[in-house]
Structures are given as structure tokens and as C-alpha cells.
Chain A
Amino acid sequence: MVKFLKPNKAVILLQGRYAGRKAVIIKSFDDGTRERPYGHCLVAGIKKYPSKVIRKDSSKKTAKKSRVKAFIKLVNYQHLMPTRYTLDVDLKDIVAADSLQTKDKKVTAAKETKKRFEERFKTGKNRWFFTKLRVYSYNHVVFAIDWCLEIGIEDLDFT
């Protein structure tokens, strides 16, 4: 009986343009608002994951490969898959409920989030968050492989 859809929780988006992307909950609205009368939350996620950086990359290449593109979105709880991971990045001051109202506020918030994400990626912590979720399609059904490994199914009967 523990609430787990709390700020700093890492989640995976299940629907929409950003399906399959990992995100972190910034603010949750459990009882909804007047415009959205359902449980939803404000998430900041990764639009474009950083590429794999290897040791023999030059510093210019490393800088280019570690770039992250971020997005901010209000998502219904039904379109999220919560995970057991958390991401401790302080995004409350840059992303607020009103950041999504105008385009330029959204862009500045996304740019700041991108910066914070890139800093966190460079420290090498929260590696799970910055790796792409491996997804493949089998008979028109899409399964998330490392999602299944995460929840402990090794052998699925695809019916």
C-alpha cells in the first residue's frame, strides 16, 4: 500500500510519439485537474538517447555522442509503466506545471532538462535510464525485451 508514482520515479512511456522512451516523473497529479480529470503526471524524458561512448573516442567525439535530447510531457498514468528505478535529478525548479503552456517556455524547460540529463549521463550514474529499451516486433506484437528481463520472464509463450 505504498504509493509509487512519485517524483523522481523512472517510468517508461507506453503510448504516443514517445512510446518506449524512459522518463522521470517530476510532478504527479493523482486526482487530476479540471482539464484532465484523471490521474496524470508531468514527466521529463529522453527523446534521443546518447550513443555508446568508447574509450578510443576523441573528446570531440565523446561530446557529440553524449548528447541527449529531452522532452516534457503530461502523461496519463495508464500510458506509463513504472519501474523500480529512480532518477535523482532536481528538475522541479526548471519544469513547472505552466511550462507547457507556451512554446518558448516549453523549449527553455526542455533545454535545461537536456543539460541536467547530459551532466548526469557524463557521471556514469543511472546507466539504466540512459540506455535504450530494446524492443522487437514478433508477429505484429511488440515486446520490450529488457522490460521482460526486468520483470523476470525469461521464456514467454508468444500467442
Chain B
Amino acid sequence: MVATKKTKKTHESINNRLALVMKSGKFTLGYKTVLRSLRNSKGKLIIISNNCPPLRKSEIEYYAMLAKIGVHHYNGNNVDLGTACGKYFRVSCLSIVDPGDSDIIKTLPGDH
């Protein structure tokens, strides 16, 4: 079974889409607010970095399973995800509440 390798092109497009969300949409960064957005079902997509601690990652996935919200595992660590969001701090998980002009919600959740 060939492991699906994320090509550079799709990775860049995710970054582009994320940048558009940061500019035009509503989002929250960080574990506490991600859980909050999951609890009141305001989140539409959750993005988790690859070095998020496994217990926390599973917890977010469990909440997302209950709330039927898609989770995307970002191909990069929290430093990269922070940079992709245009922030100067690390972001381990983020929740997109309103995508604005971006089509990130439609194109991403094939991935769980």
C-alpha cells in the first residue's frame, strides 16, 4: 500500500486557504477555545498540528466525532502552523468558525 505523501502543491494550497481564512473569516487558536467551539458546535473545521500530544489529539478528535466536525491533521508542527496563520507564536490546534471567502471547508475534510 503506497503511503500517500502530501505533495508540496497541496500543502501550499492549504497554507493559502488558511491565510485567506485568517484575513476574511473567523477562527480561534488554541486548545481551550477549540474545545469550546466544539462544545457549542460553532466550529466548522479543526486543524491539529503533527506534534500535538497524542492524548490531546485524541481528545479533540473524540469531541469532533461527537460533534460531527471535520478534523485535519496539518502536515507540519505547531511552529509551522503558527507561521501559516501569520502569527509569531506556536499554534497546536485551531478551529475555523467561519471560513469567510475561503473554500477550505469544502476542500479539506476528506481527511480525518
- Chain A residues with CB under 8 Å of chain B are 1-5, 30, 39, 77-78, 81-82, 84, 148, 151-153, 156-157, 159
Contact = CB atoms under 8 A, between A and B. Distances in A.
Contact of A153 (B40, B55, B69): B55
A3 B54 contact: no
A4 B62 CA distance: 12
Contacts, number: 41
Interface in B26-56: 35, 39-41, 43-44, 53-55
Contacts of A156: 54-55
B58 interface: yes
A159 B52 CA distance: 13
Nearest to B44: A1
25 contacts: A1-B41, A1-B43, A1-B68, A2-B66, A2-B67, A2-B68, A3-B40, A3-B41, A3-B67, A4-B41, A4-B66, A5-B39, A30-B40, A39-B39, A78-B35, A82-B63, A82-B66, A84-B65, A84-B66, A148-B58, A151-B61, A152-B58, A156-B54, A157-B54, A159-B53
B101 interface: no
A151 to B, nearest CB: 5
Nearest to B70: A1
Given A148-B55, A151-B59, A77 B67 contact: no
Given A1-B41, A78-B35, 6 more contacts: A39-B40, A82-B66, A84-B66, A148-B58, A153-B58, A156-B55
B38 to A, nearest CB: 9
B67 A4 contact: yes
A153 B65 CA distance: 15
Contact of A151 (B43, B44, B62, B68): B62
A157 B55 CA distance: 9
Contact of B69 (A1, A39, A148): A1
A4 B68 CA distance: 9
Contacts of A4: 41, 66-67
B61 to A, nearest CB: 8
In this complex, the member of B40, B53, B68 whose beta carbon has the largest number of chain A beta carbons within 10 angstroms is B40
A4 B38 CA distance: 9
